[in-house]
Structure 1
Amino acid sequence: MHKNYLPLLFVAFLLVFGNFEAVAQKKSKKDKSIENIDHLRTAPKLVVGIVVDQMRYDYLTLFWNHYGDDGFKRLVNKGFNCKNNHFNYAPTSTGPGHTSVYTGTTPSSHGIIGNNWYDKEMNAEVYCASDDDYKSIGTTSDAGKMSPHRMTVTTVTDQLKLHYQMRSKTIAIALKDRGAVLPGGHTANAAYWFHGANEGNWITSSFYMNELPKWVNDFNSSNAAEQYKKPWTTIGDINTYLESGLDNNKYEGLFDGQTAPTFPHDLPSLWNTNGKYDIIKATPYGNSITADFAIAAIDGENLGSDLIPDFLAVSFSSTDYVGHKYGVNSKEIQDTYIRLDRDLTRLFKALDKKVGENEYTVFLTADHAAIHVPAYLKDQRIPAGYHDWDALRAGLDEFLKYKYGTVDLIKNVSNYQVFLDHDVIDNLDMQIAEVQNEIASELIKNKDMDRVYTGQQMWQNEYTQGIPYILQNGYNQKRSGDVLMVLKPGVISYSITGSTHGSPQIYDTHSPLIFYGKGIRRGSTVERTEIPDIAPTISSLLGIAFPSGSTGKPISKVIK
């Protein structure tokens, strides 16, 4: 070939190759765009997180034959059931429970170490969601002065909003303020809770907004709560409630004005002596109005209406109020769960219609479980009992006077923890670790005490199993106390009627965990899962970053 043609060929080659590269780059960008759209199409339009307050795992199996096909059974039969799910920390209570579900970590990291706790810096008790920097919205009372400011890490709901440049929407709903504020995270569009008393309205905090939206005002002005001012009778034939104890027994509490803890519970006649609208909370009607409001929120907030995923966090709190009053073996708790099953059915059918049956994802869990009434256990010759904290404190003070000549070494005893006054101990020229050990050695002598650990042990060791592992996950170095106490299994500090929770024992830690809907496999596992695994699993499903303090791991079997 003549050498004069070479420059022309070279130019032609560059033109052809350059055009090919341009096409390739354009195709690559197009493919990336398609990939992003495909990801949105495979992600659920709406995630619905459901926390059932004080739900034991065995309520799924115990009342199974009374459930319909589209509530709990729908989740279990068409979703993924984690049968060996546990809280891996203590205290097992509402504030830490909701926070751990949504942050993917434990109180040791997220900082919510109780519903209330002694604040060492403020030298005062604080509430997990209270915040005087904000005003109540929807009520003239102080019931709305709340925010998540004491939670030190992000939630899965926060991460979803960050991922989509705040275009996702998060709405959190519960009868209890802490059951809405903490799951909603720091970036929620709204958290709503129920203010009873003489109002019976859903309210919020100025942390979220300056006035209630129209749909909430419309709901409140409809007197939706008024329809539940009616007698509480069993929804089924009480004679078929064979899975629970006798209706009239000595293990159950009473509403003020009652002489027996039996059906029917005449709410209208009990109304004024039991806090008016507050009485609804301690009946299954509290769950029903929560479902009513959640369904209204789906419409009012247009949740799940586009490809950018939204989050609806719902906590059903009445199960806890009923459990505390009547106990886990009561006709009341059985009827409450049968009714909750019907409320879940209503919620799922509303989601089917408004979001699309295959377009949303649900997880259902609890914030803690509960113990059988110890008085009942004792009557069945099962080891159980009640602890007297006043007697323990009196004995501890006597020991302190004898050993150190003063009781001023202790600033507070609460949440099964002893908080020492480090300044007093320093002034007495004593070592903190030595005083912790001396007090622990004295406390373990108490007949009700099973184990005692010191803060020094929590700092120096890394526990991987058993009770110390659970305690350490609940131990926050900046907020927790100097000595940690664990009562014997079956022993509680509570009234002789009703059930409670809070311990690291398995009856308080074993709770349900079910995933259902878009992107979820059908199946079950008896391998151990833990509450902090929920947020990473949902984050993996959504393709977003894990919450900032996450210590859980995705449950790989759950996701398709």
Structure 2
Amino acid sequence: MKLKYLIIYSLITALTVSAQAKKTKLLVGIVVDQMRYDYLEKYYNDFGKSGFKRLLKNGTNFTNCEINYIPSVTAAGHASIYTGTTPFYHGIISNNWIERSENFDLVNNCSTIKVPKIKTAEGISKTNSPDRLLSSTIGDQIRLNNFGKSKVYSISIKNRSAIMPAGKGANAAFWFDDETGKFISSFYYLEKLPEWLISFNNSGLIEKYCNIEWNLFKPQSIYSKLPEDNSRYEADVFNEGRTSFPHSLENVETKYKYSKFTHTPWGNQILIDLAKKLLVEENLGKGKYLDHLAISFSSPDKIGHDYGPQSYEVKDTYLRLDEQIADLLSFLDKQVGNDKYILFLTADHGGMENITHLKDMNFDTGVLENTNFFKKLTQYLKNTFGTEKIIKTRFTRNIYLDYHVLDSLNLKRESVEAKIKHYLLNNVPEIADVYTRTELNKMTAGRENSNLILNGYNKRRSGDILYSLKPHYLNWEKKYGTQHGSGHSYDTHIPLLFYGNIFPAKTYNKKVYVVDIAATIADVLGILKPSNCIGIPLVKRK
């Protein structure tokens, strides 16, 4: 009898899930650039009821979500979130990298591989596209599911944060152009900007925000547990002769005004404004088919780099973002219907404590490039092989060998790689781990974080020797604010919230990974996962 009831209950649950999934008309993806998980806990008591707390109270909260590759940077993060896989498969190994197949040129993650010889309309870029992304995204799968009848849009301040989520099948990706102060797109998606976006660009909103003074959002007592506001760990971003509140663009050169505007909370606000406009003008969530809007808030990353995670500015940004997200949720409730959209919120990476602050607290910390390690390595190669030209170039913890030189000296790549690895591990104390191309080519990347270097490696694009650093060590000097890119928890532990009628109100502390997001969304929507997805669904549908 008990078995009979369980079967009946399972059938009813399955039918309910199916009905709820079909009722969903809009998927909203929110990425907060550089948001560490602990910000949800640290600022919780100062948040309002309708933003982050609404998502936490009524959604599914995974408190132990990790990035499972290095480097933990923006382009790789956005690609991994939306493809459900790592750089090993999706190919976005960093924000920039050395491309062996392109004469060892430095390439950008969203630079067009072959720029078309066409004349483009104003606001349409020929040099930015998703050409280098090697996997489909969740948005691509939504469009493929119904022969392109769904609408998929992606917006951000940064080009990479708009293009990577958009993938190759989106209707459009829009991002902010620092030079013109307008949102633009790529030839890959559009021949010309839609009239509504041209109108938005000409509305005067940017100029309005550029003229607003940035004061504390809440009473100063709310910030009292932080270090002093005018801190030597912070940059003077706006040429004010100090780093404390209030801030304005008054002393910023005109040519840098739009760029510096994105280093304020108004960079988040303009995205909220754009999202509302886009939702209305493109009728997202109002049609027969499921639509998708990806929103990436880039300003928290810029502000974090400027001031660091213990600053008044970062806290103020998140208190304001809380209200901005509350505003967006309220708008979605009215425009789409509170039972007709689902949402996830996560981050592309976190950020380290300021390195000078760590030194002041007697932490073991330092900067690799300050040790002359590469000069010493090349001298070792010269002593061992008679030439330092064995190394062609290096970039972002990747060392590229010159195969022509190796062949001319009759040196085996595997042997040279092994000697360099041995030297680095035994002579450079700042380095934590080293892998060679020969070793990595015998392995396959996986969902878990047991080998972050492997998961961040790509056979076509990575170097021949890859290394990671000890906790609290940086590649390059970064005196002010924060930096990121490592495989340590301050860079890899990110928030993950799912919200909507499909997701239960529940908190989990089991370890999950950034690649599980796309798998979970695909599962609850009943569509195929992205082409190279290695993640798994995280929740049982309500």
Rounded to whole Å, the distance in 1 between the matches of 2:355 and 2:318 is 22
Query: How many pairs were matched up?
Result: 522
C-alpha contact (below 8 Å) 2:21/2:524 kept by paired residues: no
Residue 250 in 1 paired to residue 232 in 2? yes
Determine if the alignment matches structure 1 residue 511 to structure 2 residue 494.
yes
Greater displacement, 531-540 / 419-428: 419-428
Aligned partner of 1:163 among 145, 167, 171: 145
C-alpha offsets along residues 475-502 of structure 1, whole Å, 9 cap, x if unaligned?
A: 1111111111111111112311110111
Is 2:534 the counterpart of 1:551?
yes
Q: Is the 8 A contact 2:172 2:189 kept in 1?
A: yes
Which range moved further: 386-395 or 441-450? Answer: 386-395
Change (3 A) 1:64 1:300: same
Distance in 2 between residues matched to 1:494 and 1:46, nearest whole Å: 43
Q: Which amino acid letter does the alignment assign opposite residue 63 of structure 1?
A: Y
Task: Check whether the contact 2:355–2:472 (CA below 8 A) recurs between aligned residues.
Answer: yes
Seen in structure 2, the aligned counterparts of structure 1 residues 121 and 361 have a Cα distance that, compared at 3 Å, is same
| 1:196 shift after superposition | 2.1
Q: 1:129 to 1:537 in 2, by over 3 A?
A: same
| Contact 2:156 2:162 survives alignment (8 Å) | yes
Counterpart Cα distance in 2 of 1:59 and 1:243? 14
Shift of 1:314: 0.3
Q: 1:202 to 1:551 in 2, by over 3 A?
A: same
Residue 284 of structure 1 aligns with an amino acid whose one-letter code is P
Offset of 1:238 from its aligned partner? 2.4
**Secondary structure in structure 2 of the residue aligned to 1:512:** strand
Deviations 1:298-319 (CA, angstroms, capped at 9, x unpaired): 0011000023100000000000
Moved more, 67-76 or 229-238: 229-238
C-alpha distance in 1, partners of 2:445/2:171?
39
CA contact (8 A) 1:155 1:185 kept: yes
The 3 A distance-change label for structure 1 pair 41 and 182 is: closer
Q: Residues 238-273 of structure 1, C-alpha deviation per residue, up to 9 Å, x if partnerless?
A: 232134321011111112523211111121232527
Which residue does the alignment assign to 1:482? 464
Between stretches 470-479 and 128-137, larger displacement belongs to 128-137
- The aligned counterpart of 2:99 is 119
- 1:62 aligns with 42
**TM superposition score normalised by structure 2:** 0.92
1:185 maps to which residue? Answer: 167
- Aligned counterparts, 1:195-206, within 5 A: 195-197=177-179, 199-206=180-187
How far did 1:40 drift? Answer: 7.8
Partner of 2:332: 351
In structure 2, what is the Cα distance between the partners aligned to 1:458 and 1:502? 20
Partner of 1:6: none
Return the match for 2:508 from 515, 525, 543. Answer: 525
SS in 1 for 2:198: helix
Return the TM-score normalized by structure 1: 0.89
Per-residue CA distance 1:431-450 (angstroms, 9 max, x = gap): 11110111112222113222
TM-aligned CA distance change 1:388 to 1:409, over 3 Å: same
Q: 1:92 to 1:461 in 2, by over 3 A?
A: same
State the match for 1:429 in structure 2: 410
Please tell me whether the aligned partners of residues 91 and 133 of structure 2 are also in contact (alpha carbons under 8 angstroms): yes
Could you say what secondary structure the match of 1:222 adopts?
coil
Q: Distance in 1 between matches of 2:364 and 2:47?
A: 32
- 1:411 Cα offset (Å): 1.3
Q: Distance in 1 between matches of 2:205 and 2:538?
A: 39
Q: CA RMSD in A?
A: 2.1
Which residue does 2:387 correspond to in 1?
A: 406
Alignment deviations for residues 193-242 of structure 1 (CA, whole Å, 9 cap, x no partner): 00123x21111111111111111011011011111112211111223213
Q: Structure 1 regions of 5+ residues with no counterpart?
A: 1-34
Change (3 A) 1:473 1:294: same
CA contact under 8 A between 1:533 and 1:553: conserved in structure 2?
A: yes
The equivalent of 1:133 in structure 2 is 115
Q: 2:81 aligns with which of 93, 101, 105?
A: 101
For residues 15-74 of structure 1, give each alpha carbon's deviation from its aligned partner in whole angstroms, at most 9, with x where no partner exists: xxxxxxxxxxxxxxxxxxxx9996586341000000000010000010111111111111
Name the CA distance, whole Å, in 2 between partners of 1:246 and 1:288: 27
Larger Rg: 1
Whether contact under 8 Å (1:138, 1:203) holds in the other structure is: no
Judge which range, 263-272 or 349-358, deviates more: 263-272
Distance 2:119 2:304 in 1: 29
- What's the counterpart of residue 323 of structure 2? 342
Match of 1:161, SS state, is helix
Q: Does 1:441 align with 2:430?
A: no
Q: 1:73 aligns with which of 53, 56, 61?
A: 53
